[in-house]
């Protein structure tokens, strides 16, 4: 017996949160003729539409953020923290419906979507607690007489651009930190999943975030992105998405020299050493890889298993993956929902075809199902080159073999990306040695799940820069102001 509410009830709850609008300067702009249609990845049904805002409307949101900034920055940290705490409480009150909305527009199973809502909310609570702890430093001057006071001040209005794979968490990880610091936010959510961001913003306003401090803008990428990155009033861009778009936005930010956080793509390696606990390694691989159907930036993209444990690992992994249940996001036993769209499906097909052509063998899965559903797939062998440079973003685990620790590290690092990495070993010395040697921002040791509010999340190399969550996550929204006091 499942404790999940009935599908029809959940779908109705999710639909009730859909607002066909944008939020500009505290006002809801209703959808007009020029609009973006949002479809359910599960069955293609039209969920609703959001406006394609004009450049002038985006500017209005930016100007409102700039106008709201001084008062918001001066608001006491304790008061901003209380607003964040109220926002968190409202998200908790609405968590079933928000999860249903995520399942509707993103397609992840409802239980997993509920996990995302709680994960998203953990950032709001985390930064609620931090808002009254943003202290500075008193520094003695080299002359031994003067006193230097270093204050940490909010950077100013922030533009946040987010992807569709975590329609709630990628927003709160930015917005909660920005509000904690005293920055207003103009958010551009992904066009595939705008309704979750709009619903979260409605709750934020209800919690007391001032009008103007949180706008949600939708529209043509170049129009919205162009205004946000080009504006002198926006002092920081926080972007989560693909490396290609990140590069383009970084170039657009250059003329106004904005602060930037770039949470970009990955090609996470997962290493399994002979001395690993087999069950832990297999469970960790499945948990890490099949979250959101393989559509996360930290999903293991390529597995390297040491020769001595390879056969046992492949046998256990294949059995586990073959048993995963693919289905409707609202069915209680569903573990994997549909991919986001047809492009996502063809990419997985392409990666399978290229790996098979290079000598890889499909051990389970390998085929598309109806719509944008895809069979969970394990492939052994072939060439790992492709997976070092391209994210599959789907339910495919390619497994390769290595002999020595040095080889494993070299192959893990042979990529321009460096977001997440995973390793499985029961030798503590090896785990620490390899964990330190891998070029990535986040390493999971004997765990496939590494995302939580306390963990500094972010990449190195072309996976970007900046950290989100944790005590470090606030730094990207603060700048240091130094006053020198000449003592007489
Ligand atoms: P994407 O195509 O880069 O889009 C991300 C966001 O950028 C969307 O809101 C998108 O808008 C917007 N965008 C695209 N082109 C733009 C432009 N020229 N100007 C302004 N905005 C623009 O990425 P995605 O397909 O949504 O997400 C998947 C990618 O995100 C993967 O590479 C994944 O690894 C990465 N990701 C990284 C992290 C991390 O923390 N490092 C977390 C999650 C995902 P539209 O929706 O309107 O196209």
The predicted-structure confidence for 402-420, as pLDDT tens digits, reads as follows 999 999 999 999 999 999 9
The DSSP symbol for 458 reads -
- d(C-alpha 207, C-alpha 216), whole Å: 16
Per-residue CA distances from 258 to 226, 254, 255 (Å): 14, 7, 8
Give the residue numbers annotated as catalytic, written as ranges: 263, 297
Long-range contacts of 356-360 (CB under 8 A, 24+ apart): 356/382, 357/382, 358/382, 358/383, 359/383, 360/398
CB 454 within 8 A of CB 433: no
Alpha helices (H) along 390-469: 405-413, 428-437
- What tens-digit pLDDT sequence spans the chain (488 residues)? 468 999 999 999 999 999 999 999 999 999 999 999 999 999 999 999 999 999 999 999 999 999 999 999 999 999 999 999 999 999 999 999 999 999 999 999 999 999 999 999 999 999 999 999 999 999 999 999 999 999 999 999 999 999 999 999 999 999 999 999 999 999 999 999 999 999 999 999 999 999 999 999 999 999 999 999 999 999 999 999 999 999 999 999 999 999 999 999 999 999 999 999 999 999 999 999 999 999 999 999 999 999 999 999 999 999 999 999 999 999 999 999 999 999 999 999 999 999 999 999 999 999 999 999 999 999 999 999 999 999 999 999 999 999 999 999 999 999 999 999 999 999 999 999 999 999 999 999 999 999 999 999 999 999 999 999 999 999 999 999 999 999 87
Q: Is the CB of 266 under 6 A from ligand 1?
A: yes
* pLDDT for res 487: 83
CB 304 within 8 A of CB 339: no
* pLDDT for res 1: 46
Q: Is the CB of 222 under 6 A from ligand 1?
A: yes
- d(C-alpha 482, C-alpha 382), whole Å: 57
How far away, in angstroms, is 37 Cα from ligand 1 center? Answer: 18
How far away, in angstroms, is 18 Cα from ligand 1 center? Answer: 22
- d(C-alpha 396, C-alpha 348), whole Å: 7
Beta-bridge partner residues of 150: 137, 482
CB 68 within 8 A of CB 39: no
How far away, in angstroms, is 400 Cα from ligand 1 center? Answer: 29
Q: Is the CB of 347 under 6 A from ligand 1?
A: no
- d(C-alpha 2, C-alpha 330), whole Å: 12
* pLDDT for res 377: 98
Per-residue model confidence as pLDDT tens digits over 279-300 = 999 999 999 999 999 999 999 9
- The 10 Å Cβ neighbour count of residue 25 is 20
> What is the value of pTM for the model shown?
0.97
From the CA of 297, give the closest atom in ligand 1: 34
CB 33 within 8 A of CB 201: no
CB 168 within 8 A of CB 116: yes
- d(C-alpha 111, C-alpha 229), whole Å: 36
CA atoms within 13 A on the CB side of 57: 23
- The 10 Å Cβ neighbour count of residue 242 is 15
CA angle 321, 340, 221 (to 5 degrees): 145
- d(C-alpha 87, C-alpha 56), whole Å: 29
CB 394 within 8 A of CB 346: no
Q: Is the CB of 165 under 6 A from ligand 1?
A: yes
* pLDDT for res 3: 85
How far away, in angstroms, is 163 Cα from ligand 1 center? Answer: 4
């Amino acid at each position: 017996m499942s404790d999940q509410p009935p599908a029809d009830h959940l779908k109705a709850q999710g639909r009730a949160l859909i607002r066909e609008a944008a939020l500009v300067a505290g006002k809801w702009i209703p959808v007009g003729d020029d609009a973006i249609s949002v479809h359910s990845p599960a069955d293609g049904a039209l969920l609703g539409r959001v406006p394609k805002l004009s450049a002038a409307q985006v500017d209005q949101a930016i100007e409102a953020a700039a106008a709201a900034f001084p008062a918001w920055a001066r608001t006491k940290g304790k008061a901003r923290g209380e607003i964040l705490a109220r926002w968190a409480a409202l998200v908790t009150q609405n968590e079933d419906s928000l999860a249903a909305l995520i399942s509707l527009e993103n397609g992840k199973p409802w239980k997993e979507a509920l996990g995302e809502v709680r994960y998203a909310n953990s950032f709001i609570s985390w930064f609620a607690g931090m808002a009254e702890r943003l202290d500075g430093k008193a520094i003695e001057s080299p002359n031994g007489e003067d006193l230097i006071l270093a204050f940490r001040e909010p950077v100013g209005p922030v533009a946040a651009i987010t992807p569709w794979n975590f329609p709630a968490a990628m927003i709160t990880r930015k917005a909660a930190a920005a509000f904690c610091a005293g920055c207003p936010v103009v958010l551009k959510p992904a066009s595939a999943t705008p309704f979750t961001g709009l619903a979260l913003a409605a709750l934020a306003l209800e919690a007391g975030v001032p009008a103007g401090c949180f706008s949600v803008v939708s529209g043509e990428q170049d129009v919205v992105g162009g205004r946000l990155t080009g504006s002198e009033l926006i002092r920081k861009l926080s972007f989560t998405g693909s490396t290609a778009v990140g590069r383009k936005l970084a170039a657009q930010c250059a003329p106004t020299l904005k602060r930037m956080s770039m949470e970009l793509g990955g090609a996470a390696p997962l290493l399994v050493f002979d001395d690993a606990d087999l069950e832990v390694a297999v469970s960790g691989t499945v948990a890490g890889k099949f979250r959101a159907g393989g559509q996360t930036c930290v999903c293991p993209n390529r597995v390297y298993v040491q020769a001595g444990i390879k056969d046992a690992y492949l046998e256990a992994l294949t059995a586990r993956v073959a048993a995963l249940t693919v289905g409707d996001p609202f069915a209680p036993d569903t573990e994997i929902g549909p991919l986001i769209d047809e492009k996502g499906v063809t990419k997985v097909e392409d990666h399978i075809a290229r790996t098979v052509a290079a000598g890889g063998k499909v051990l389970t899965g390998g085929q598309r199902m109806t719509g944008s559903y895809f069979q969970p797939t394990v492939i052994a062998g072939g060439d790992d080159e492709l997976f070092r440079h391209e994210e599959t973003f789907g339910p495919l685990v390619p497994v390769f073999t290595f002999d020595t620790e040095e080889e494993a590290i070299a192959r893990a690092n042979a990529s321009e990306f460096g977001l997440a990495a995973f390793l499985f070993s029961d030798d503590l010395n090896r785990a620490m040695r390899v964990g330190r040697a891998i070029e990535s921002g986040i390493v999971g040791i004997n765990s496939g799940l590494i995302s939580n509010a306390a963990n500094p999340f972010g990449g190195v190399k072309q996976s970007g820069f900046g950290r989100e969550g944790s005590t470090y996550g606030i730094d990207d929204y603060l700048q240091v102001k130094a006053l020198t006091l000449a003592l007489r």
